[in-house]
Amino acid sequence: MKTRAYYKDGLLTIRFDGELDHHSAKPAVRVIEDGIDTHLPKHLILDFKGLSFMDSSGIAVVLKAFRRMNELEGTVSVDNVPAQPQKVLDMAGLGRLIKIAAGVKEA
Amino acid sequence: MKAVNSMKIEFQSNSANEGFARSAAAAFAAQLDPTLDELGDIKTAVSEAVTNAIVHAYPDTIGKITLKARLFPNNSLDLTIRDWGRGIDDIDKAREPLYTTGGEDRSGMGFTIMESFTDKLKVKSTPGRGTTVTMHRRFSTRAGRE
């Protein structure tokens, strides 16, 4: 999986491409934490558009990002979430903590 | 019920094999002409079971894991993930949502997801001897299928 960080005007966007599982979670968390510590953003977007698969390891990744941003009094949202990762996020009820936006269904 | 087809693979408990195992299960299940949603459920459930074996059964060693799949004539599938690792002391506790011994890297949702994404989940474990997780899932019958 590829995880890339983009920063502009207080907004840090992390783009996920590929499959997020226990194997790929650690490097992903490193990219997120490095991005937050470097830029101290006001808002963090986890962009899941390219995320083709996620298991419960992804729940822990999102929660970690949420806790870190909470310490900085910043906010987090998860954007462009495809159906399969959405189903896993729903299991953990993460929608109560974080704004989650579904991805546009591709034709 | 007699299986109409089956497969078994054995692999090491390297985390790189999590993707291999769920893809193999999905490729085998493709014979049932599943929907994208059903395929996603199978991949997720297998990923959880295999990750449990890698993280909890063999915390400091590399051990053996097997994945078995059996296909039944009524469009259903049995998936069995087995390890010969540490075993689970309290299965009821391990199956509780949010319970984990894995610290903040783990969500504690593994068994809950396996349970919700399949129709039946059975866990057998002997401390020091290993764990066997069996999941059963029925697939929808779609128009146009034989």
Q: What is the mean pLDDT of residues A14-34?
A: 97
Q: What is the pLDDT of residue A107?
A: 45
pLDDT 10s digits, A29-64:
999 999 999 999 999 999 999 999 999 999 999 999
DSSP secondary structure string for all residues of B50-83: HHHIIIIISSSS--EEEEEEEEETTTEEEEEEEE
Name residues whose C-beta falls within 8 Å of residue A96's C-beta, 6 or more positions apart in sequence.
none
Chain A interface residues facing chain B, Cβ-Cβ under 8 Å?
19, 21-23, 25-26, 53, 55-57, 59-60, 63-64, 83-84, 87-88, 91-92
pTM of the model: 0.94
Per-domain boundaries in chain B:
5-141
* Residue B52 annotated to the active site: yes
How far does A60 lie from chain B, in Å, by closest CA? 5
Please tell me the distance from the alpha carbon of residue B52 to that of residue B34, in angstroms, as a whole number. 25
Question: What is the CATH number assigned to the segment(s) B5-141?
Answer: 3.30.565.10
CA distance B105 to chain A (A): 6
Candidates B75, B106, B115, B138; catalytic one: B106
The per-residue pLDDT for B1 is 83
B48 catalytically annotated: yes
Superfamily of domain A2-102: STAS domain (3.30.750.24)
Can you tell me whether residue B2 is helix, strand or coil? Answer: coil
Model confidence at A95: pLDDT above 60: yes
ipTM of the assembly?
0.92
User: SS3 for B18-53, per residue?
Assistant: HHHHHHHHHHHHHHHCCCHHHHHHHHHHHHHHHHHH
Q: Report, as an integer, the average pLDDT of A64-86.
A: 96
pLDDT reported for residue B144:
55
Enter the DSSP assignment of A53: E
- Tens place of pLDDT per residue across chain B (146 aa): 899 999 999 999 999 999 999 999 999 999 999 999 999 999 999 999 999 999 999 999 999 999 999 999 999 999 999 999 999 999 999 999 888 988 888 888 999 999 999 999 999 999 999 999 999 999 987 655 54
Give the nearest partner residue to A22 out of B36, B41, B51, using CB atoms: B51
Q: Residue B80 in contact with residue B68, Cβ under 8 Å?
A: yes
Q: Is the pLDDT of residue A82 over 70?
A: yes
Nearest to B48 among A26, A56, A64 (CB): A56
Put simply, the answer to whether B112 touches A59 (Cβ < 8 Å) is no
Mean pLDDT of chain A: 94
Is the pLDDT at A105 greater than 80? The verdict is no
Question: Ramachandran region of residue B71, left (φ > 0), alpha (ψ -120 to 50) or beta?
Answer: beta
Taking the C-alpha atoms of residue A22 and residue B19, their distance in angstroms, rounded to an integer, is 10
pLDDT score of A50: 97
